[in-house]
Amino acid sequence: MIANGLVRRGDCPKIAWKNGGGTTRTIAVSPPGAGLENFIWRLSIAEITRPGCFSYFAGIERTIAVIEGELGMDIATARTLRLDPASAPFAFNGETNVLAAPINGPVTDLNLMVRRGACTGEMRRVPSGPLFVGGAIAIIVAQEHSELTVNDGAVKMNPGDAYRCRSADFRKATLSHGAFLVELTPT
């Protein structure tokens, strides 16, 4: 079960990458306390400071979206991408070789990882206004300073802050500014 409520980006411990190219803050993971080898799903925010390869995750579906900065990605399938805060989230499998490089400064991105066969997950941008949510669990991640109104209560959010709960709790929810919506459904 996921704990409901606001998760402040700054309250999530910052973990340095082994390769020294950045840091990660885990926003939410299932089951609670799971590590990289046994999570069902995981949502995190990373700060990329220099070029490097993405970690290899067998059996994992990944989605990445840029919150701040611009990220160049060279993908083993001979595809090259540039992601920025206006780009749609990009989905790929964890076995794909990806070289990522920040362009003109550090990049902050949102990362969703789900274990194939155990969960499905989708990340998308949502505009300001009413929220329409599916899936069993929903997590809203602010892209900018925003206010989220949920069932007659308002929460002020900073960039990278997250609000998580069961989708049913978002029946009467509105956003003052666009954000990312992550929907998760255990299989």
pLDDT tens string 25-45: 999 999 999 998 999 999 999
Where the chain has pLDDT below 70, the residues are: 1-4, 78, 171
What confidence score (pLDDT) does residue 133 get? Answer: 80
β strands within the chain, DSSP E: 5-7, 14-16, 22-30, 41-48, 52-53, 60-75, 79-83, 90-93, 98-115, 119-126, 129-130, 137-142, 146-150, 153-157, 162-166, 173-175, 179-186
What confidence score (pLDDT) does residue 102 get? Answer: 96
Distance CA 173, CA 15 (A): 32
What confidence score (pLDDT) does residue 93 get? Answer: 92
What confidence score (pLDDT) does residue 2 get? Answer: 44
What confidence score (pLDDT) does residue 68 get? Answer: 92
